[in-house]
A = this chain, B = another copy of it.
Amino acid sequence: MNTNTLSVFALGGLNEIGKNMYVIQYGDDIVIVDCGSKFPDESSLGVDLIIQDIAYLKENREKIRGLLVTHGHEDHIGGIPYFLKQINVPVYATRLTLGLIKIKLKEHGLLRNTDLQLINGDSSLNFGTMDVTFFKTNHSIPDCLGIVFHTPEGIVVHTGDFKFDFTPINDDYADINKMAEIGSKGVLLLLSESTNAERPGFNPSERIIGKKIEEEFRKARKKIFISTFASNVHRVQQVVDAAYKTNRKLVLLGRSMVNVVSVAEELGYLHIPEGMIIEKQDINQFDPEEVAILCTGSQGEAMAALSRLSTSNFRQVEIHPDDTVIFASSPIPGNEKNVTQVIDNLLHLGANVIYGSGTGLHVSGHACQEELKLMLTLMKPKYFMPIHGEFRMLHKHRSLAESVGIELDNIFIMNNGDVIEITGGEARQTKSVHSGHIFVDGLGIGDVGNVVLRDRKLLSEEGIVIIVVTINRKNGELVSNPDIISRGFVYRRDAEELMQEVNELVIKKVAELQGVNRNQQGIVRQTLKKATEQLLYVETKRRPMILPVVIEV
């Protein structure tokens, strides 16, 4: 990057939901915003997690001044352990966010060697040529920050994830006046999140959820199970309050629920009356109407508490007929099938299940269209770059910006790696730096790539047929009957006949090949592969992966 140039780009978060990472660079000073992970979808078969390719940062590691983290959600902190193993820089975050980061670092054995710096909405930092200040925002987790970069070129604002809630739980107000002040000073470039850019209107306050939860708690006659995101501490607070008001003890189920609640309580973000939490093994000491169970699994995750409860697969806790199960959540796109399966299972158990968009038991944490316009109006940026969203969300966010007066030519819809350079107050989209995704699979980071995924996809749809032939090195004759083995292909009595046909074909082909140069094993393999492929396609209209193994003895 040029010395007197301000460069802004993303290494993750554009044209996708997840793995957020944004880079602000002025000359030799690089500051990174967020380091999230992304959950794989069905096209990334078997992959556990997706993180950013940080090749650019590794090449410029001596310029990196720090990693600023806007809040504690996985898509903003999930990549931190993998990042720090490669680039060890100070991490700046608020108290709750740091608490959640620490859980991760502990799991990866990184806690001792990381420089963690506590900040809050009033902090002011200096990173060489840049000063950085912050403003508090509302979201679906407490202690969120927007970031203000005071650069020699002007002010760059990064909103983080946000919404506006004028009546937040625990008086956790956003700094709207501060946002307006920043806007009045003049913002050169705004980066604002786009997750809900397609959704009209303005989010209702989180506070209305509390009333609905309390209503459902008052109606319930037996045990109550309620599920939400563990990190939505404000909602958890409202569950605690509803349980307290209706004289129910509270049980926490699921590892992340127990972890997050204990961190949030310890740090003062969550207030739980003493003696209210009981252990799951003590549930039976109370009448059903004296107990509420707050659990993970609102997204239908197979291993989470609620899924296991729904299939009567949870030790020491059972859902009985007329128990109430409340989903204080919406399915994230892609999770609908898992969630509805859990609901079906719960109904089969005879539970009274409260779910669906009509219940008023969920509000989004992301700004809807009117809130996005409010942010744009407060900041009045010269240049605008919609971030964090799939293409159509960025696209819609551009229309919203245009509608409140931002010039269309000053709005940059970019790809990960695309760089905006600003010099002399003028912004241009110039080059691209290397970007990409890295798969985390088991212990491996980056060892599963597109070839492996392509193979997995083929295997998953068509299966595999393995042909093993043992050939006499000297004369090219078969030493024994070929072995034909299939997995994931067909399975029935007819399959034997089919495999017998393949067997005969292989014997015939090997005989035909006796003349060819025996050093060219490749030709033998190719011939067997092709012939088998053809036979199987004609017979079954399927194309399994065919793997010929030729052994010479």
Contacts and interface: CB of A to CB of B under 8 A. Distances in A.
Interface of A: 15, 41-42, 45-46, 198, 200, 333-334, 336-337, 340, 343-344, 347-348, 353, 356, 358, 390-392, 395, 441-444, 446-449, 451-453, 455-457, 459-464, 466, 468, 470, 479-480, 483, 485, 487-492, 494-495, 539-542, 545, 547, 549, 551-553
Contacts of A463: 46, 452, 455-456, 459
A449 B488 CA distance: 9
Nearest to A15: B344
A4 B375 CA distance: 73
A45 B542 CA distance: 13
Nearest to A333: B336
Contacts of A552: 480
A549 B334 contact: no
A415 to B, nearest CB: 11
Contacts of A540: 442-444
Which secondary structure dominates chain A's binding surface? Answer: mixed
14 contacts: A46-B460, A333-B340, A347-B391, A444-B542, A447-B494, A449-B491, A452-B463, A452-B488, A452-B491, A459-B460, A466-B547, A480-B551, A480-B552, A485-B549
B455 A541 contact: no
A447 B42 contact: no
Nearest to A344: B391
A516 B200 CA distance: 73
Contacts of A461: 45-46, 456
Given A392-B344, A459-B456, A466-B466, A547 B480 contact: no
A551 to B, nearest CB: 5
| Copies per complex of this chain | 2
A444 B544 CA distance: 14
Contacts of A541: 442-443
Nearest to A441: B542
A549 B340 contact: no
A334 B347 CA distance: 21
A455 B542 CA distance: 16
Contact of A487 (B356, B449, B464, B553): B464
Given A551-B551, A553-B480, A464 B459 contact: yes
B491 A448 contact: yes
Contacts of A441: 542
B347 A442 contact: no
Contact of A340 (B45, B337, B392): B392
A208 to B, nearest CB: 19
A539 B539 CA distance: 41
Given A441-B542, A491-B448, A549 B459 contact: no
A358 B201 CA distance: 12
A408 to B, nearest CB: 13
A492 B446 contact: yes
A447 B485 contact: no
A302 to B, nearest CB: 12
A552 B442 CA distance: 35
Contacts of A337: 41, 333-334
A516 B182 CA distance: 80
User: Of A334, A455, A495, A552, which is in contact with the most chain B CB atoms at under 10 Å from its CB?
Assistant: A455
